[in-house]
Amino acid sequence: MRLHGIEYVSYPGSLEYIKELKYKKYFIVTGKSSMFKNGTIPRLEKILEENNCQYSVFSSIGANPTASEVVAGVNKMKAFKPDAVIGLGGGSAIDASKVMILLYEHPELNFEIIRKSLDINISRDIGLIAIPSTSGTGSEMTKTSVITYGEENIKIGLKTYNFIPDYAILDGELTLSMPKEVVAQTGMDAMTHAVECYTNKNLDDFSEVLCRGAIEGLFEYLPISYEKGDITSRQKVHNYQSMAAMAFHNIGLGMDHGISHSIGGMFDYGHGLINAIGLPYVLSYNSRDSLVKERLDKLAKAIGQDNFIESIKNLNDRLNIPKSFKEMGISEEAFLSRYDVVLDNALLGSTRANPVKMTKEEMDKVLKSIYYGKILF
């Protein structure tokens, strides 16, 4: 079990920790606008300049990082020759930075090769610093990177210990500019990580404690973070989402994530939003398994409620999460016209680790339940 890299730093203002690092050439990977608008990029540039460090900013990462965006970043890295990479922003920027380093240091690899086979222990020499500005993906802690293969409209999760950042910096101040809908969606992504990990058949004692702590903390602080947006609640949610990531990257997830990667790759909606909508349906389906039901009952008691699935629904309502994929905005015509591919892709990835083994016929019932907003299984 590996929980994180060299150092895990978590407190408001912790961006300043960069001053303690010994690297001298930083390649900064970020999104297209938010880190500039909220002043984080200028703040980071000032820190690096005061430490006499060189830096180059690559700001071309979209909401769902694509293979072509990663390749463009690798080409810029070749010209700059950094000794460290900073993934700054949402999980997309951090995920992209992980694969950029991999392809930069191992030119013999390409996306066709790594999607089929990737050495879990492949080497990395360049430093990797992850600084998340949203509170959901947990990419700053994990050995996972999710990349969209644009031509195929599918998201693929790549895994290697190479991807675990050396330094994870969780500065709650960076989350203060998050819009409310991003707070809700990323927060429910974290909740889904913790809950799917907790109901995974591979759960161990260490991860159980992390999952339950994250779930209890998110139920308490996510609504406050959404409604008030104060630094205390934002930092708390930032920490709890990271705890969930420590657990799930060692244990695994389940069907909700398999569905999310399929829907997100095809229709380009946010990963956390899709997870949030699907979670109550997936838990309802999986609760036919006695061990899942037992664990959900334990979670209900832990948060002081009678029914955990109803508590998730109530939390979604409080966060203004739609109740179905149709309500989210996918037209019935678009959904049905691409349904065969969506169905096939939903059976891949994390669905293979679902506590209830899924067939195509059963996944069909679950997908249509989530789309139409009513139980059909």
Average pLDDT of span 163-171: 97
3-state secondary structure of 357: coil
Q: Is residue 2 part of a domain?
A: no
Mark whether 156 and 184 lie in a shared domain: no
Check whether 1 has a pLDDT greater than 80: no
Q: Is residue 1 part of a domain?
A: no
Q: Check residue 359 and give its pLDDT.
A: 98
Check whether 164 has a pLDDT greater than 90: yes
Could you say which DSSP state residue 150 is in? G
Phi first, then psi, for residue 155 (nearest 5°) are: -95, 135
Check whether 176 has a pLDDT greater than 90: yes
Mark whether 199 and 127 lie in a shared domain: no
Helix 231-251 / helix 205-227 crossing angle, nearest 10 deg: 150
Q: Is residue 377 part of a domain?
A: no
Per-residue pLDDT tens over the stretch 9-26:
999 999 999 999 999 999
Per-residue pLDDT tens over the stretch 183-206:
999 999 999 999 999 999 999 999
Give the range of the structural domain holding residue 259, as residue numbers without chain letter: 178-372
CATH of the domain at 334: 1.20.1090.10
Mark whether 170 and 188 lie in a shared domain: no
How far is 231 from 172, CA to CA, in rounded Å?
A: 6
Q: Check residue 149 and give its pLDDT.
A: 82
Q: Is residue 134 part of a domain?
A: yes
CATH of the domain at 31: 3.40.50.1970
Sign of CA dihedral 117, 123, 127, 132: positive
Q: Phi-psi bin for 39: left (phi > 0), alpha (psi -120 to 50), beta?
A: left
Cα end-to-end distance, the chain, whole Å: 36
Phi first, then psi, for residue 62 (nearest 5°) are: -85, -175
3-state secondary structure of 145: strand
Q: Check residue 24 and give its pLDDT.
A: 97
Mark whether 97 and 243 lie in a shared domain: no
Mark whether 228 and 298 lie in a shared domain: yes
How far is 58 from 94, CA to CA, in rounded Å?
A: 12
pTM for the full predicted model: 0.94
Mark whether 244 and 318 lie in a shared domain: yes
Q: Which of 174, 206, 235 is the last residue of a domain?
A: 174
Could you say which DSSP state residue 66 is in? B
Q: Is residue 76 part of a domain?
A: yes
Check whether 174 has a pLDDT greater than 90: yes
Average pLDDT of span 75-91: 97
Check whether 263 has a pLDDT greater than 80: yes
Question: How many CB atoms lie under 10 A from the CB of residue 107?
Answer: 9
User: Are 203 and 289 in contact, with CB atoms under 8 Å apart?
Assistant: no
For the chain, percent of residues with pLDDT exceeding 90: 90
Q: Is residue 361 part of a domain?
A: yes
Mark whether 159 and 294 lie in a shared domain: no
Check whether 2 has a pLDDT greater than 80: no
Q: Is residue 251 part of a domain?
A: yes
Q: Is residue 122 part of a domain?
A: yes
| Mean pLDDT score across all residues of the chain | 95
Q: Check residue 357 and give its pLDDT.
A: 98
Mark whether 249 and 368 lie in a shared domain: yes
How sure is the predictor about 64, in pLDDT bands with cuts at 50, 70 and 90? Answer: confident
Q: Which of 174, 202, 235 is the last residue of a domain?
A: 174
Q: What per-residue string of b and e applies to 135-159 under the rule 16 or more CB within 10 Å gives b?
A: bbbbbbbbbbbbbbbeeebbbbbbe
Average pLDDT of span 117-139: 94
Number of independent structural domains in the chain? 2
Q: Which two tokens stand for residue 207?
A: 């991860």
Q: Check residue 118 and give its pLDDT.
A: 87
Average pLDDT of span 300-319: 98
Check whether 57 has a pLDDT greater than 90: yes
Residue for token digits 């946010």?
270
Q: Which of 159, 174, 189 is the last residue of a domain?
A: 174
For every residue of 290-322, DSSP letters joined together read: HHHHHHHHHHHHHTT-S-HHHHHHHHHHHTT--
Mark whether 170 and 183 lie in a shared domain: no
Mark whether 282 and 295 lie in a shared domain: yes
Mark whether 240 and 120 lie in a shared domain: no
How sure is the predictor about 157, in pLDDT bands with cuts at 50, 70 and 90? Answer: confident
- CA-based angle 128:133:138, to the nearest 5? 65
Mark whether 155 and 230 lie in a shared domain: no
Strand partners, 220: none
Check whether 364 has a pLDDT greater than 90: yes
